Amino acid sequence: MNRREFLKKALTVAGISFIGGKKVYGGDSSNLSQDTVKSTGNTANRKNWLKYEAVKSRKLPTEPYAVLVDITKCIGCRRCEWACNEWNKNPNRPIKEFEESKDKAPSVFDRIRRTHAGQFTVVNRFYDGGKPVYVKKQCMHCAEPACLNACFVDAFKKTSHGAVLYNPSLCVGCRYCMIACPFDVPAYEYYDPITPQITKCTMCFDRITESQVPACVEICSADALRFGPRSEMLKLAYERINNNPERYLPHVYGEHEAGGTNWLYISGVPFEKLGFPKLDKRPIPDYSKNFLFTVKVLEIVAAAPLVWGAYYMISKNRKKKESQDVQSNEKQ
């Protein structure tokens, strides 16, 4: 074996182990979170956008809806993940596998996950003094979404129901929204070369407009999720906090964070220990609104003169060069 051959083989081995030999040699793929899904066939975002187009003319709610998540109640059964996949027609596995992950070792919970293409919500496990604490993660549906503000083709829409929706037909795939989002929510279909889209939770817009509750809320078997008008959810949150001061921290996450969100959390463990970003009351778009507006104005007003100026300079240069060439030719 000469050196070239050796290197080739070594690199192949390293490469396979790096990508994950399981995938290459067809291993056990029951571990959902690490499945690089070949195609999610995600239609949920598009469907919800069409739904939005359809209900625009209807009577809109006067107050946005919200979901209240009570972290102290969650038992980590992951049924919400199953229900979400089921309703949004994302790749799914039998519900039994989701329920079992809590008691399994190794478990899906062993690492902190984030949402990715074809999975709008994940439940993570943290430990507080040896006790497991389960935290559901999904789009927070901000009152003033950072993703919407970062998008320069207006592919996002904040509806009066509270949901933030995404329109794949406008999207150019720049993924600014992924960077703008403080909660790391929007995910991207990297494997799709032609028509990739951003995917994210839609707050089950197609359900709440038909007077149903979101799929995850409906299936929750521990009463950890509640759905209703935002003011009522806040009232409920504070009622619980006031009635059980030793069980909860006096803080509703999402009431003021980043200008308020439509998913609210109450917990007995400090939020910074549960992977929530520490945010102040200022909405994220506030930081960039004025600048982005100026950019837009410049685009419209200054684009034409700039293009013309550039053209002018180039042609002038060319003329100069030509005349120089002519002169040098004459000298010769």
| Contact residues: other proteins, CB under 8 A | 73, 75, 77, 96, 99-100, 102-103, 211, 213, 218, 220-223, 226-228, 236, 243-244, 246-247
Shortest Cβ distance from residue 226 to other proteins (Å)?
A: 7
Strand (E) positions, 71-141?
122-128, 131-137
Q: Is 165 annotated as a binding residue?
A: no
Structure tokens at 26: 């067809």
Q: Is 204 annotated as a binding residue?
A: yes
Token pair 């999904």 is at which residue?
Answer: 138
Distance, C-alpha 297 to centroid of its chain = 29
Q: Is 222 left (phi over 0), alpha (psi -120 to 50) or beta?
A: alpha
The minimum distance between CB 219 and other proteins, in angstroms, equals 9
* Closest to other proteins by CB, 65 or 253: 65
**Residue 201, annotated as binding a ligand:** yes
Q: Of the two residues 35 and 100, which places its CB atom closer to other proteins in the complex?
A: 100
153 Cβ neighbours under 8 A, 6+ residues apart: 170, 171, 172
Q: How far is the CB of 91 from other proteins (least distance, A)?
A: 21
| Residue 147 marked as a ligand binder | yes
Is 174 annotated as belonging to a binding site? yes
**Amino acid making up residue 257:** E
Name the residue nearer to other proteins (CB basis): 9 or 316. Answer: 9
Q: Which residue lies nearer to other proteins by CB, 37 or 95?
A: 95
Place of tokens 């056990």: 28
Rounded alpha-carbon distances, angstroms, from residue 103 to 28, 267, 316: 19, 23, 75
In the complex, the smallest distance separating the C-beta of residue 218 from other proteins, rounded to whole angstroms, is 6
Query: Strand, helix or coil at 229?
Result: strand
- Residue stretches of the annotated binding site for [4Fe-4S] cluster: 74, 77, 80, 84, 139, 142, 147, 151, 171, 174, 177, 181, 201, 204, 216, 220
